[in-house]
Chains A and B, each alone.
Chain A
Amino acid sequence: EVQLVESGGGLVQPGGSLRLSCAASGFTFSSYWMHWVRQAPGQGLVWVSRINSDGSRGTYADSVKGRFTISRDNAKNTLYLQMSSLRAVDTAVYFCVRDYDGAFDVWGQGTMVTVSS
Chain B
Amino acid sequence: DFVMTQSPDSLTVSLGERATINCKSSQSVFYSSNNKNYLAWYQQKPGQPPKLLISWASTRESGVPDRFSGSGSGADFTLTISSLQAEDVAVYYCQQYYTTPFTFGQGTKLEIK
Chain A contacts to B: CB under 8 angstroms: 35, 44-47, 50, 59, 61-62, 95, 100-105, 107-110
Q: A44-B106, A44-B107, A101-B55 are in contact. Are A108 and B49 (CB under 8 A)?
A: yes
Residues of B within 8 A of A (CB): 38, 40, 42, 44, 48-52, 55-56, 61, 93, 95, 97, 100-107
Residues of B within 8 A of A110 (CB): 49
Q: Which residues of A contact B101 (CB under 8 A)?
A: 47, 61-62
With A103-B40, A104-B40, A105-B61 known as contacts, the answer to whether A47 contacts B51 (CB < 8 A) is no
A-B contact pairs, 19 of them (CB 8 A): A44-B93, A44-B104, A44-B105, A44-B106, A45-B42, A45-B44, A45-B93, A45-B95, A45-B107, A47-B101, A47-B104, A95-B49, A95-B50, A102-B55, A103-B55, A103-B95, A104-B42, A104-B97, A108-B49
User: B106 contacts A104, CB within 8 Å?
Assistant: no
